Chain A
Amino acid sequence: MYNFTFHRPTTVRQAAGLLARNPDGKLLAGGHSLLPVMKQRLAQPSAIVDLSLVEGMSGVEVKGRSVVIGAMTRHADVANSQVLKDLMPGLASVPGSIGDPQVRNRGTIGGSIANNDPNADYPAACLGLGATIITNKRRIAADDFFTGMFSTALEEGEIIVKVSFPVAKKAAYEKFKHPASGFALVGVFVSKRGPDIRVAVTGAGSNGVFRVTSFEEALKKRFAAKSIEGMTIPASGMNADIHASPEYRAHLVAVLARRALAKANA
């Protein structure tokens, strides 16, 4: 790892100030994506701004028709949140599938979303529920937030403070887990909230998380696996790597979407 200066602000404002003074600086949340990349010397931040002492950035709370999760909330704490499990088990199941128990003890929702790894789970949940990402500057709809592989709409010095998920009556996540890394080879999040139907896919697209509008249209009549029976998505635009071909990933999208719909209706 290259060396850096280390800072531990106690407020979001201080953290933003530190980023402004250190243009090559990086925010550190749980560190379970950033530190491995730094160890490989693929990232060389001049300064690390550790958010762990900033107050009021973690916790799960219900606000009206939404569940608001602080950016520094650890995966284990979201997965174990009783209020979330009661209200939206489909969302609570997402962090429980990330990495391994020790990774879930440290990794955070804000870190996962800001990193936007093309195989990460939370981006599918955000897009699949139409979440709002709340930063120190503004509110960003999930539809506008994820702009491509490892890239987001976040500007310089912008810090995710919390994420607000609208409560959907039906929601579920199905993931084909890579057995070694625990990442999603393909993951599909489906939800229905009144007329708003969403099918979001992670792990498959060569440009990161995306929605399957053809499935969403077909589900408008009836939100059930049967409605998309026999439907497929084209392999063009799917990721190709040592683990799976574009055709296999496209196939998995349809299979996992049907399984997620069955789970959401169970």
Chain B
Amino acid sequence: MATVSMTVNGKAVTGDVEPRTLLVQFLRENLRLTGTHVGCDTSQCGACIVHIDGIAAKACTTLALQVEGASITTIEGLAEPGGKLHPMQEAFREHHGLQCGYCTPGMIMSALDIVRRNGNNLDEHTIRDQLDGNICRCTGYHNIVKAIEAGAKAMAK
């Protein structure tokens, strides 16, 4: 076993893990932050996307020990403490950017990274192209794309 420490959603956390523990396992099983999902477990589907020091990454393809000392943001870290949703979450609610909801946490973490890289005025082509690493198995992309476009604009306000 090894000890790993990092900051998750602004809080310092420490845990004992086997070196082979994936970041997504550490988040879900040690910290009980089950908003980050495991979909394919093969780096394809994006249900496990979190931010490592502000940059989107697939937590199923990252060892917990690799992010020792890093700052991690998960879907649980987006809403305000009082429960007010982040503008991107609110846009997904407003535009019904989900069907079964399994891919949604990854979609939202990915959407925020699209805004980081491309700014707040996104066109449909950019959003679809940049969602390359996220799969919605319900095929509900239409409203997801609409939600991301609206959420990006709302974040600028």
Q: Identify the A interface with B (CB < 8 A).
A: 1-6, 8, 28, 31-32, 35-36, 38-39, 48, 50, 52, 99-103, 105-106, 180, 182
Contact = CB atoms under 8 A, between A and B. Distances in A.
Contacts of B2: 6
Interface residues of B, number: 27
Contacts of B46: 100, 102
B20 A106 contact: no
Contact of A52 (B20, B43, B58, B66): B66
Interface in B121-137: 130, 132-133
Given A31-B66, A32-B43, A100-B46, 14 more contacts: A4-B19, A6-B19, A6-B63, A28-B63, A35-B62, A35-B63, A38-B20, A50-B66, A100-B132, A101-B56, A102-B57, A105-B55, A105-B56, A182-B132
A22 B52 CA distance: 29
Interface of B: 2, 18-20, 41-44, 46, 49, 55-58, 61-63, 65-66, 68, 110, 113-114, 117, 130, 132-133
A107 to B, nearest CB: 10
Nearest to A181: B44
Given A3-B19, A35-B63, A102 B42 contact: no
Contacts of B20: 1-4, 38
Nearest to B66: A50
A46 to B, nearest CB: 11
A102 B49 contact: yes
A36 B60 CA distance: 9
Contacts of B44: 180
Given A6-B2, A105-B56, A36 B19 contact: no
Contact of B110 (A5, A28, A31, A102): A102
A32 B132 contact: no
Contact of B68 (A8, A35, A38, A100): A8
Contacts of B42: 36, 39
Contacts of A39: 41-42
A205 B34 CA distance: 44
21 contacts: A3-B18, A4-B19, A6-B2, A6-B65, A31-B61, A32-B61, A35-B61, A35-B63, A39-B42, A48-B63, A52-B66, A99-B133, A100-B46, A100-B133, A101-B110, A101-B113, A102-B43, A102-B110, A102-B113, A103-B43, A105-B56
